[in-house]
């Protein structure tokens, strides 16, 4: 069996084609597409090719194998990541920054950081304290200092293991926010067993945090810098260290409540 799905997300048209068949493939594909994806007849600017076998799943991008495994969860995570990265790098109307994002009544909190920086645990702790959900992967920013939701499922690690569970906002019982002004950009370095410590930072520091975590920084440096500067001008900047996510979330919300 062969097939192709052509969709557009955040202004980027792309194809996912496949050969073969496997149980659950339609669900894997649907859950791997970026939020807000819709069918399109525009020519794709990026393609992924999938080979489905009884025991192995293979993913090719630009003719090269990027995943070949017999674990559907590993494969699904890689497919979602590759599609998301392609859209983030090519979006013509937004700047994607690796970050966790939650919403408050006064605007969004953006937590820039690379993968494995502890974004998800801090996002989850903030959600448990009443924040709304925008993303644990990308802050989708524009020149108006606003951030749009990218509410993919959170990848939550089970304590003491490397096992992860993918949970949607609905499964966590939290609300998904729409586009919000950025209230604060917070750069927290994880330091085990350290009490949370936060201090103010400059607009320049804030802009550099965003540029340093922007997916398209090399492809569109001017556009990325313009968006980063716009966000830095209209938001509060905080820097510090944190240990456990719960105390850090309490300290952060308390600090923002003071202003």
In order of their start, the domains of the chain are 2-90 (no CATH), 95-257 (3.40.50)
pLDDT at residue number 3: 95
Q: How far is CA 177 from the centre of its chain?
A: 14
Q: Which of 42, 62, 59 is nearest to 50 (CA)?
A: 59
Interatomic CA distance for residues 110 and 100, integer angstroms:
6
pLDDT score of 163 more than 70: no
Confidence grade of residue 241 (pLDDT, cut at 50, 70, 90): very high
Mind giving me the DSSP string for 38-76? EE--SPPSEEEEEEE-SS-EEEEETTEEEEEES-HHHHH
Supply 19's token pair: 């050969």
Confidence grade of residue 120 (pLDDT, cut at 50, 70, 90): confident
Please state, for a pLDDT cut of 70, what percent of the chain lies above it. 95
Confidence grade of residue 171 (pLDDT, cut at 50, 70, 90): confident
On whether the CB atoms of residues 139 and 187 are closer than 8 A, the answer is no
- This prediction's pTM: 0.92
Instruction: Find tokens 């969709």 and name the residue.
Output: 7
Angle formed by the axes of helices 245-257 and 119-128, to 10°?
60
Average pLDDT, the chain: 92
Supply 110's token pair: 């953006």
Q: Summarize pLDDT for 12-69 with one digit per residue, the tens.
A: 999 999 999 888 999 999 999 999 999 999 999 999 999 999 889 999 999 999 999 9
β-pair partners for 154: 167
3-class SS at 193?
A: coil
Provide the b/e sequence for 3-25 (b: ≥16 CB within 10 Å).
Answer: eebbbbbbebbbbbebebebeeb
What letter would DSSP give residue 214?
Answer: B
Q: Which of 31, 24, 29, 35 is nearest to 4 (CA)?
A: 29
Supply 248's token pair: 């850090």
pLDDT at residue number 167: 80
């Amino acid at each position: 069996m062969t097939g192709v799905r052509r969709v557009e997300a955040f202004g980027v048209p792309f194809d996912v084609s496949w050969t073969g068949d496997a149980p659950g493939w339609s669900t894997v594909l649907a859950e791997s597409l970026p939020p807000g994806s819709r069918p399109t007849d525009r020519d794709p600017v990026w393609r992924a090719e999938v080979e489905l076998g009884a025991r192995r799943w293979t993913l090719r991008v630009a003719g090269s194998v990027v995943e070949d495994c017999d674990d559907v969860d590993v494969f699904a995570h890689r497919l979602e990541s590759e599609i998301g990265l392609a859209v983030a790098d090519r979006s013509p109307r937004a700047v994607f920054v690796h970050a966790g994002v939650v919403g408050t009544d006064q605007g969004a909190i953006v937590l820039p950081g690379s993968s494995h920086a502890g974004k998800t645990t801090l996002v989850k702790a903030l959600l448990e304290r009443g924040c709304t959900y925008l993303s644990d992967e990308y802050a989708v920013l524009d020149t108006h200092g606003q951030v749009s939701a990218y509410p993919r499922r959170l990848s939550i690690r089970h304590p003491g293991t490397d096992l992860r569970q993918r949970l949607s906002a609905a499964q966590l019982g939290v609300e998904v926010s729409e586009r919000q002004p950025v209230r604060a950009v917070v750069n927290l370095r994880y330091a085990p067993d350290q009490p949370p410590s936060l201090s103010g930072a400059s607009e320049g520091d804030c802009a550099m945090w965003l540029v340093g975590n922007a997916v398209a920084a090399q492809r569109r440096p001017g556009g990325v810098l313009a968006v980063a500067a716009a966000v830095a001008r209209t938001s509060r900047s905080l820097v510090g260290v944190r240990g456990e996510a719960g105390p850090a979330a309490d300290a952060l919300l308390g600090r923002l409540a003071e202003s």
